[in-house]
Structure 1
Amino acid sequence: MGLLDRFRGGVARGGSALRAGSGNGENARYLAEWVRTHSGVEAYVEPKTTVTDVTVVLIAADGEWTRRVVGERGARRLAGDLRIPVYDVRKTGYPQRMRDHDARKRIERKRALERDLGEL
């Protein structure tokens, strides 16, 4: 059984969502490493859309974030394995620190572009 089978509620139960297997274990390994290298990480589960399956957004204390497709059960199991809080974004919304981080990054990109254009 592959890692995504477990995320999508495959027939087998038990084990760790972080255990490598066939399938897309890269997402789980990436998310585990991201949690290890960032502080104050929380998981926010996003609903399935017409374009993507259920995704999880990991948000660090400074507002930096990353998103991966893992499926709903996989997101909750992954958060449990990583010992981080998990929230349903439909109920809680995104934290302000994520929006603040994105705003800071937009300002930094704009300033870098203006600086690069000024050097021409």
Structure 2
Amino acid sequence: MGLFDRLRGKRKPGTLRGATKQDTSHLDEWASSRTGVEAYVEPRTNVTDTTVVLVAHDGEWTRRRISDFDAAMDFGRKRSIPVYEVARVGYPKRMRDYMARQKREGRA
């Protein structure tokens, strides 16, 4: 182990960080504080692990890692949130509208 290896952390370059309890608690808190929440699962890529995007009724959204599609389905089932695959259905229009409003208002 080199001198700077300890400072860099234990992960090797190119390895993905998996979902943590903090990710799940953020999703829990976010979903419980908003109405009309739906979940959109993004598949794993070379750069990121599987993620889930929660979108509220007004288009506000958040994204966090989740271990896999089945975990996203369990998350949605436990909270009565519909779960969709982004690759099949795309993102909802209200999410795009929300981002456009944020950009116009100078918040993004």
Smaller-chain TM-score bracket? 0.7 to 0.9
TM-score, with structure 2 as normaliser: 0.77
The structure in which a higher percent of residues are helix is 1
Aligned partner of 2:106: which letter? R
2:42 counterpart residue number: 46
Tell me the distance in 1 between the aligned counterparts of 2:51 and 2:20. 14
* Residue among 68, 73, 77 paired with 1:76: 73
What is the number of equivalent residue pairs in this alignment? Answer: 89
Sequence identity, in percent? 48
Query: Runs (4+) of structure 1 moved beyond 4 Å?
Result: none
When normalised by structure 1's length, the TM-score is: 0.70
Instruction: Give the SS at the match of 2:44.
Output: coil
2:54 counterpart residue number: 58
1:91 aligns to what? 88
Which runs of 5 or more residues in structure 1 are unaligned? Answer: 1-7, 9-22, 111-120
The residue aligned with 2:13 is none
Q: Which runs of 5+ in 2 are unaligned?
A: 1-17
CA distance in 2, matches of 1:24, 1:44: 18
Distance 2:71 2:83 in 1: 12
Per-residue deviation, 1:79: 1.1
Equivalents in 2 of 1:103, 1:50: separation in Å? 28
Output the aligned Cα RMSD.
1.6
> Which residue of structure 1 aligns with residue 106 of structure 2?
109
1:97 Cα shift? 0.1
Shift of 1:83: 1.2
Tell me, in whole angstroms, the C-alpha distance in 2 between the residues paired with 1:105 and 1:31: 21
